[in-house]
Amino acid sequence: MRVAVTQFATSINVQENLATCIRMINEAAVCQPSLIVLPEYANTQPSYVDHQQAWDEALVIDGEFLQSIAAQAKKYDCYIVINVTLRRDGSSLKSKANISVTSCLFSPQGELIHQANKQALVGHESEFFTYKASDAELVNTVTTPFGKMGLLTDSASFESSRLLTLSGAQLLSHSLSTFAMDQSTLHSPARACENKVFLAQANKVGALVTQNNEYQEHLIGSGQSQIVAPTGKVLAKLANNEEGFIFADIDLSECIDSKKNRPDSTNIIEQRRPALYQKLSEQVNSTVKHETNEAPETANIAIFATYKSNEEAIEDVCYYIENNLSDITQLPELFFVADKTITNNNEQLVEIERLSKQLIEQVSAMLRPFQYVCTSLVLDGMHQAVIISEQGLFAAQQQLHFCQRYQWTTLGDSLNIVELPLEQGNITVAMLAADDANIPEMIKVAALNNIHLLLVPFDIQESCEVDYSLISRAAEHRICIVAASREKSFTAELVKDNGAVNTGNKKKVRAQKSVGFIANLAKNFVIPIRNNSPKFDGYINKPLVKNQHGKITKALIFPIAACNKSLY
């Protein structure tokens, strides 16, 4: 099917906005798409003086505005997604509960076949809108001749897209109205690749608020409307904030559940453990919160990735520890094993466990007080993430999810939350090995335990893991993440932006090396206000990422910043 996404500005004049919507549909229809996606708040500019104004600009289902959109869907024999504000429960203003922010899907027959109401109201939205959807609505998808489609109303969190994916969605349509670059550069690609679905995102351009608003200088729609593949690759994108449209041809059969496999053939749907997440979430003591003065200001982090194997790799790590003073040194998963397939051989597995024990003994002998090393090892016949201190094995975390690479290991049923004493103060950490950190639900459980830092010794399988998914987790949950892997090379496709019309055929192919990273947090959110310092750069919650490079990568992290979760 061919999908087109649009971007344009709106005003406070509903009739002007209708004319703009029809004009943009007419322009996008030139490429004969199967689906056209319009931005959020297509009928309005939601910067209201009072509830009366919000009510006056909201639409009714059977009114002229939506009936005109329905006529366009029928005229061009395509599906159209449009997001608008809708009046609910009567024809007069009663309360803000009577107005919803709703994505509407029209069929090629001109029928309104599905609605999805925005749940995560942000900023001033909660002053004018509220609408609680039923569970059925949240997971409802629409079956089309091309496949199943879901209407996504929130992508800053993983949960909405996950629910839609689990109900069969192969394409997520996301209408957006934001000034921030976080969505287009991070969260939207993350939602596509972590669920292995296509995502079509249409964003606003132009002023998002009226001229009387004190923030108006910065609140300009960032555009960047795009279509993202299940791998996280951007198939087509308007790399600007000017009015226009762009399109791409996609095949939804690529996204059926049986094809949602990682490179090692592990199915991402089958490896989930919902009962485990529920159990671990119930165990969280929600009354325990970080006190700002408890966390250290900084912690010294290093990633060390040796190119050697077996005993030589262990000696290489020991030499590094002896000559460096990092608080925490993160090593890749089974860092001394170059070829992980040998773990499927019983004799080799016994040897790997012997080397694991030798590693603990040698490394602990080199560590100073308040120094730690994290990696994954084979202990007691199980694959486990570990923290090693000067006294030996400090903490361990069993692998929690099945993956084909380590199908021989017994899976754990608990998450070990570790209080790690540093010279500057204590930090709370969790560890995840193998595919565990690629499960968004698992990182949410760790975050619910108020961790400052997530340690991830892993073996990268797809570039999107480090390009989008894990960094999106750091932003969403406000946690620092250190992920170390042996270097891998992947083929990356670059799409050339040709403005309003992109056939999707002009691509360059290059080799892309992928490794781990250290994701730190800014101490404060940078919200666009007058005379703000530092200067607003288009991002409101972008992790500070230092990519793993060569054998040694060092950075400071700010554990204290993980205490500041006020954005969410």
For residue 500, the model assigns a pLDDT of 43
pLDDT at 223 over 70: yes
CA distances from 404 to 343, 344, 435, 516, 530 (A): 11, 10, 10, 21, 53
For residue 504, the model assigns a pLDDT of 45
Residue 496: pLDDT band with limits 50, 70, 90: very low
User: Domain map of the chain by residue range?
Assistant: 2-260, 297-485+516-563
CA distances from 101 to 92, 190, 397 (A): 17, 24, 43
Spatial separation of the C-alpha atoms in residues 442 and 206, rounded to whole Å: 38
Tens digit of each residue's pLDDT (9 = 90 or more) over 163-219: 999 999 999 999 999 998 899 999 999 999 999 999 999 999 998 887 565 556 668
* CATH superfamily placement of domain 2-260: Carbon-nitrogen hydrolase (3.60.110.10)
For residue 94, the model assigns a pLDDT of 56
Cis peptide before 534 (omega within 30 of 0): yes
Phi/psi of residue 126, each to 5°? Answer: -65, -15
pLDDT at 27 over 50: yes
CB 387 within 8 A of CB 455: yes
Spatial separation of the C-alpha atoms in residues 525 and 523, rounded to whole Å: 7
pLDDT at 105 over 50: yes
Q: What is the CATH number of domain 297-485+516-563?
A: 3.60.110.10
Residue 512: pLDDT band with limits 50, 70, 90: low
Amino acid at 530: R
Assess whether the region 2-260 and the region 297-485+516-563 belong to the same CATH fold. yes
Q: What share of the chain in percent tops pLDDT 70? A: 87
Tens digit of each residue's pLDDT (9 = 90 or more) over 453-474: 999 999 999 999 999 999 999 9
Tens digit of each residue's pLDDT (9 = 90 or more) over 354-384: 999 999 999 999 999 999 999 999 999 999 9
pLDDT at 499 over 60: no
Q: Which residues contact 129 (CB under 8 A, 6 or more apart)?
A: 54, 85, 96, 99, 100, 101, 118, 121
Residue that is written with structure tokens 């599905």 in the block: 114
Q: Is the dihedral of CA 288, 290, 293, 297 positive or negative?
A: positive
pTM, two decimals, is 0.90
Q: What share of the chain in percent tops pLDDT 90? A: 71
Residue 441: CB atoms within 10 A of its CB come to: 17
**What is the average pLDDT across 527-536?**
55
Tens digit of each residue's pLDDT (9 = 90 or more) over 402-434: 999 999 999 999 999 999 999 999 999 999 999
For residue 13, the model assigns a pLDDT of 93
CA distances from 5 to 197, 332, 404, 550 (A): 16, 40, 37, 40
- Compute the mean pLDDT over every residue in the chain, rounded to the nearest whole number: 88
CB 230 within 8 A of CB 192: yes
**What is the average pLDDT across 267-296?**
78
